[in-house]
Chains A and B, each alone.
Chain A
Amino acid sequence: MQANASASMASRWGIVQIYALVFGIAYVAVAVLEDILGTSGLKIGGSTILQVTVVQNLIHWVVGLGVLGSFFAGERIAKLVARTVGIIFVVVTVLGFFVEPLTGQLLGFSGGLPLSYNIVHLLTAAAALFAGFAATRAYASR
């Protein structure tokens, strides 16, 4: 029964709305966790286990609320937001790979941007662009 309800809800939404829902929750969750855990500057054995930068936290809030909000605003807005996020993340990824120290500093790190961030940015950009350009209405003609 529950599985049928989930399948029915998912089929009502397009790829872009599922993107907005899943990634919106992920971004906002990261932003909330940064604020909960990061304010005290948690350290274990002298090593920092949570490095929160103000710039990054702000980016996570803006992207998270924008993407999650677009889920409720409908398919057209969700597509527009997904495309915007995708293009921005492509630019950030290219900067991260080729101008590593500058990108790190822009995002509030003391050194260069870690490789893991570049991989995350690349995959996020791919998902956003895929969702943003997938034409759900094309299904109607099949």
Chain B
Amino acid sequence: MIKLGGYVALCLVTAVAAGDTIHFVGHRIDIPMTHHAFHLLFTTAALVIFAGFVMWDVRRRGWPRFSWRL
């Protein structure tokens, strides 16, 4: 669990560093990085990664069934 937490923390720090870098580069080359852009960028990235995993999972195990049960 601690090892897994470490990986998650590493992913989090990488995401923040990437966002900060994009912001810095955008600032240097005069591209206005609006707050809206950060929302779209991070959420779109999360959606793309999640959709990729779902496609991989569906190819491997088939389409999931949906249930109200937890």
Could you tell me which A residues sit within 8 Å of B by CB distance?
10-11, 15, 18-19, 21-23, 25-26, 28-30, 32-34, 36-38, 42, 44, 47, 49-52, 68, 71-72, 76, 79-80, 114, 116-117, 120, 123-124, 127, 130-131, 133-139, 142
Secondary structure class of chain B's binding surface, majority of residues = helix
| Number of B residues with CB within 8 Å of any CB on chain A | 42
Given the interface contacts A30-B42, A36-B16, does A80 sit within 8 Å of B70 by beta carbon? yes
C-alpha gap A114/B40 in the complex (Å): 12
9 more contacts with CB within 8 A, not counting A15-B54, A21-B8, are A10-B53, A19-B50, A26-B45, A29-B42, A30-B39, A49-B34, A50-B38, A123-B43, A137-B67
Given the interface contacts A29-B15, A33-B38, does A72 sit within 8 Å of B1 by beta carbon? yes
Beta-carbon contact of A52 and B35 below 8 Å? yes
Could you tell me which B residues sit within 8 Å of A by CB distance?
1, 4-5, 8, 11-12, 15-16, 19-20, 23, 27, 30, 32-36, 38-40, 42-43, 45-47, 49-50, 53-54, 56-57, 60-62, 64-70
| CB proximity of A27 to chain B, nearest CB, Å | 8
How many residue pairs between the two chains, A and B, have CB atoms under 8 Å in the bound complex? 116
Given the interface contacts A49-B32, A117-B36, does A37 sit within 8 Å of B61 by beta carbon? no
Residue in contact with A134 in the complex, picked from B16, B35, B66, CB distance below 8 Å? B66
